Structures are given as structure tokens and as C-alpha cells.
């Protein structure tokens, strides 16, 4: 089944590269949730996440003909998204607020806020690596492609980032 999905996606990409808007729309619908989840967790604000995904999709549509390998589509579009997110960080250049959504239980809320606080203490690159890995489910080699980084470097930076989060969380006794 997995190979079938990959080959079906490759066909859609080939069609989209030839200007087929329906094929691109289908690709977009298959990956939208992953893109939005990544952008939301990276940027922390729903409107900014939606804007980043919209900008990413527009840029991807305009540049899809430059995509060299069909199997690189996901890493390619996530690279575009991560660049948009980095630009948002630069534009914002302010302290991040904690999310105002409330989980059903007070203790769950406190823990989720502590984890979010630890996440936001990471630098931009560390947040991207953790987001790609934890929220996007990408492997080090895929993240390396997206960030133009050696997979070994990705693994060491991910390990260091998660260790930073662990230390912060231990300080607040989570």
C-alpha cells in the first residue's frame, strides 16, 4: 500500500509540474494537515500558521516545475514552509506568548504549558529540528535535506535540543 501511495503521489507531482492545477490541489489536500500542524507548532499562532501555509502553497505552485525529483516533494515543500516560518520569526522578533487553549484537566494544562515553555526556550533551528522530528515524523536524513544539513548533525542537534528541554522540565519538576 505504501509504495502505491508513493507512486500515486509521483504521478500527481508529474501532472502538477505540467501545470495541472487539479493534481496540485490533490497534493495540497494530502499534505495540508502536516503543513499546518508544523507551522502552528513552530509559529504558535493559528493565523500566522495559516498565512505561512498559504504562502508556502503559493510559492510551491509557482515553483513546482523546478522540483528535480518527485520523491523529494514533501521535503521540498517543508523546506519552503520552514523558510517562511524562519522569516516570520525574524519579522515578529518578540517574546512568544503561551497558547491560550485549555486542556480539559488542570494538571494536563500545567504540564502542556511547561512543555511549550521549554520548547520556546530552544533557538529557531532547534525548534525546527524538533518540530520536523516530533510533530512531522521526519527522519534525520529527511530533516537534513530540508535544512541543508548533514543527518549526523541533525541527530546531534536534536539530541542537544531535547536535552535542553529535559533540563528545563526538570527545573519545574514535570
Pairwise CA distance, residues 120 & 116, whole Å: 6
Question: Band of the pLDDT at 99, cuts 50, 70, 90?
Answer: very low
- Average pLDDT estimate for 89-117: 61
Residue 61, burial from CB neighbour count under 10 angstroms (0-12, 13-18, 19+): middle
pTM: 0.58
Asked if the model's pLDDT at residue 102 lies above 50, the reply is: no
Asked if the model's pLDDT at residue 104 lies above 60, the reply is: no
> In degrees, to the nearest 5, what angle opens at C-alpha 163 toward C-alphas 159 and 167?
175
Pairwise CA distance, residues 118 & 134, whole Å: 14
Asked if the model's pLDDT at residue 69 lies above 60, the reply is: yes
pLDDT tens readout for residues 73-87: 888 898 899 888 888
In the chain, the domains with their CATH numbers are 1-94 (1.10.1740.10), 99-174 (1.10.10.10)
Question: Band of the pLDDT at 109, cuts 50, 70, 90?
Answer: low
Q: Is the C-alpha dihedral spanning 167, 168, 171, 172 positive or negative?
A: negative
Which range among 1-15, 21-35, 85-99 shows the weakest confidence by mean pLDDT?
85-99
End-to-end CA distance of the chain: 40
Amino acid at each position: 500500500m505504501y509504495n502505491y501511495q508513493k507512486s500515486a503521489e509521483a504521478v500527481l507531482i508529474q501532472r502538477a509540474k505540467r501545470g495541472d492545477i487539479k493534481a496540485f490541489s490533490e497534493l495540497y489536500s494530502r499534505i495540508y494537515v502536516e503543513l499546518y500542524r508544523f507551522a502552528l507548532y513552530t509559529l504558535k499562532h493559528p493565523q500566522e500558521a495559516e498565512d505561512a501555509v498559504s504562502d508556502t502553497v503559493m510559492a510551491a505552485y509557482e515553483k513546482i516545475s523546478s522540483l528535480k525529483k518527485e520523491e523529494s516533494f514533501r521535503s521540498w515543500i517543508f523546506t519552503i514552509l520552514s523558510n517562511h516560518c524562519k522569516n516570520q520569526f525574524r519579522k515578529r522578533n518578540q517574546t512568544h506568548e503561551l497558547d491560550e487553549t485549555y486542556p480539559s484537566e488542570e494538571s494536563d494544562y500545567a504540564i502542556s504549558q511547561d512543555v511549550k515553555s521549554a520548547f520556546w526556550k530552544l533557538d529557531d533551528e532547534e525548534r525546527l529540528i524538533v518540530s520536523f522530528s516530533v510533530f512531522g515524523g521526519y527522519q534525520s536524513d529527511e530533516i537534513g535535506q530540508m535544512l541543508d544539513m548533514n543527518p549526523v548533525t541533525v541527530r546531534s542537534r536534536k539530541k542537544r535540543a531535547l536535552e535542553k528541554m529535559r533540563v528545563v522540565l526538570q527545573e519545574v519538576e514535570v
